[in-house]
Structure 1
């Protein structure tokens, strides 16, 4: 194999590894304006009447969701990055509590899912003041053995 060919193969492999890693980027560990909660805390909030919001697609919600959660699908096209462009995405905020001081918990598929992070961010920018984010998402809820439907 020629040196030039070997260089191209190496570059292709490196680029593939970098792109693969970039596609599974974990969401941030915190979110300005929101309170990051554990599955236990989310369950306590739900028991107190706080709405739980599933930001995943309707199909994912139908497959399995936190018992009692409502579905507010966040349709994302923007980058999986803290400075995402919400204008590229779609979500129906009218499904959230009309009282913007009423709390709600958002979740999706865990650390590599950005939908609940983005929904929380957009809701905060729209004036919601009591947003709880279950960063561990449905996997964290299931790991605790909490009820799903």
Structure 2
């Protein structure tokens, strides 16, 4: 069913994130290596279980190009400290979920929001470690 919902979306998400920053997989790796960033995989739990960035938690987001999604539910899953660096990702550069999730975090007052626009696919293709399993970290 998610594919049917995506069929109505026109184009890819924007190539800018006002109030946040788009990062590459190399930058995401450096952020992970250097800090206590909070990595968020917004894909559904099945895809999370099939592979995710090792530090990531599963916090599914249902927003799309046409709908901002369940903002309150997403915000409840975020750390309380608004200065915590957040790295948010989904499948890849054509997905709206991670963009909407990053927008939601910025609107909620988070100061360090990083959007891994190229997503899990680029991370995996880079050869960086991947963790498998459905545990939510």
Task: Identify if the C-alpha distance between structure 1 residues 60 and 21 changes in structure 2 by more than 3 Å, giving closer, same or farther.
Answer: closer
RMSD across aligned positions (CA): 1.9
Aligned to 2:122: 140
Distance across 1 between alignment mates of 2:108 and 2:7: 32
TM-score, L = length of structure 1: 0.76
Q: 1:55 aligns with which of 42, 47, 50?
A: 42
Deviation at 1:110, TM superposition (A): 0.7
Could you list the runs of 5+ residues in structure 1 that have no partner in the other structure?
Answer: 1-19
Structure 2 spans left out of the alignment, 5+ residues: 1-5, 132-137
2:108 aligned with 1:126? yes
Paired residues in the alignment total 123
Q: Does residue 21 of structure 2 align to residue 35 of structure 1?
A: yes
Q: Is contact 1:24–1:112 with CA below 8 Å preserved after alignment?
A: no
Alignment-derived partner of residue 58 in structure 2? 71
Q: Secondary structure at the match of 2:122?
A: helix
**Structure 1 or 2: more helix by fraction:** 1
Moved over 2 A (4+): 20-25
* The structure with more radius of gyration: 1
Q: SS of the counterpart of 1:105?
A: strand
